């Protein structure tokens, strides 16, 4: 599963920003905002940028699924 692979990649290289971002996006799509925020905080320099990202990807996905 992708989550485990990204976590393994992070264990090998903690500076692998793309893995953190992808994990955040996966958790957003699953509706798990708490876990998404944990990983996205490692990607974005500011809370405002992170919040904009969450709103951009989470809200449209929620509208499609229900």
Domains in the chain: boundaries? 2-65
The residue ranking higher by pLDDT, 47 or 64, is 47
Scored b (16 or more CB within 10 A) or e, 19-47 reads bbbbbbbbbbeeeeeeebbebbebbbeee
pLDDT at residue 44 greater than cutoff 60: yes
pLDDT (tens digit per residue) in 29-43: 898 989 999 999 999
Contacts made by residues 63-66, CB under 8 angstroms, sequence distance 24+: none
Q: Which CATH number fits domain 2-65: 2.60.60.20, 1.25.40.10, 1.10.10.10, 1.20.810.10?
A: 1.25.40.10
- What pLDDT band is residue 27 in, cutting at 50, 70 and 90? very high
């Amino acid at each position: 599963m992708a989550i485990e692979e990204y976590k393994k990649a992070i264990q090998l290289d903690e500076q692998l920003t793309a893995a953190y971002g992808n994990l955040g996006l996966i958790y957003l799509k699953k509706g798990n905002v708490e876990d998404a925020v944990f990983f996205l905080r490692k990607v974005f320099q500011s809370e405002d940028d992170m919040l904009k990202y969450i709103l951009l990807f989470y809200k449209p996905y929620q509208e499609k699924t229900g």
